[in-house]
Amino acid sequence: MAGEQVTLADLQPPKGATKDRKRRGRGTGTGNGTFAGRGCKGAQARSGYKRRVWHEGGQMPLQRRLPERGFTRIKAVVDQVVNLRDINDRTEGERVDAETMRAAGLIRYIDIPVKVLADGEITRAVTIVADKFSRSAREKIEAAGGKAEEPTGA
């Protein structure tokens, strides 16, 4: 053995490490009895049965045992948030509106409200048009010589 080369093709699991799979439904001589290892009657003994994760065998299911709390406001609109740092770094020009922010990749949708937050600094005088501004963002924009405008009419 010392001089022989061992290859991947020669590798085998140690004796007793593997077992043959159970061949169900092959008669009583296989050791699986008359019901082929499926127990006696019931859904699990039938073909096509699939155990669903949420099924609890007729017991009152968990989602029905727990109380309902609160509600979901389906039409709630969440603002798109843009920081001053991003406006300063990724936009150009004297006027920045939703179209400009969309082109710069700062927002995803034109028709969802935009809120400007004061994270970062703005170093140039720029007119920013957005639906909402945080108080500190408005102060920083005006301190840099710019204007914070909210669109009129809808």
Q: 42-95: per-residue pLDDT in tens?
A: 888 888 888 888 889 889 999 999 999 988 888 777 899 999 999 999 999 999
Residue 63 included in any domain: no
Residue 143 included in any domain: yes
Contact 117, 84 (CB under 8 A): yes
Distance (Å, whole) CA 101 – CA 114 = 10
Closest among 38, 36, 64, 35 to 51, alpha carbons compared? 38
Range of the domain at 139: 80-149
Distance (Å, whole) CA 38 – CA 33 = 9
Residue 70 included in any domain: no
Q: Which of helix, strand or coil describes residue 148?
A: strand
pLDDT digits (tens, 9 = 90+) for 85-94: 999 999 999 9
Q: Is the dihedral of CA 119, 125, 128, 132 positive or negative?
A: positive
Please tell me the predicted confidence (pLDDT) of residue 154: 52
- For residue 110, give the CATH number of its domain: 3.100.10.10
Residue 6 included in any domain: no
Distance (Å, whole) CA 111 – CA 108 = 9
- Kindly state the greatest CA–CA separation across the chain: 92
Distance (Å, whole) CA 5 – CA 93 = 73
pLDDT band of 150, cuts 50, 70, 90: very high
Please tell me the predicted confidence (pLDDT) of residue 25: 82
Counted domains in the chain: 1
pLDDT digits (tens, 9 = 90+) for 88-120: 999 999 999 999 999 999 999 999 999 999 999
Residue 122 included in any domain: yes
Residue 126 included in any domain: yes
Residue 95 included in any domain: yes
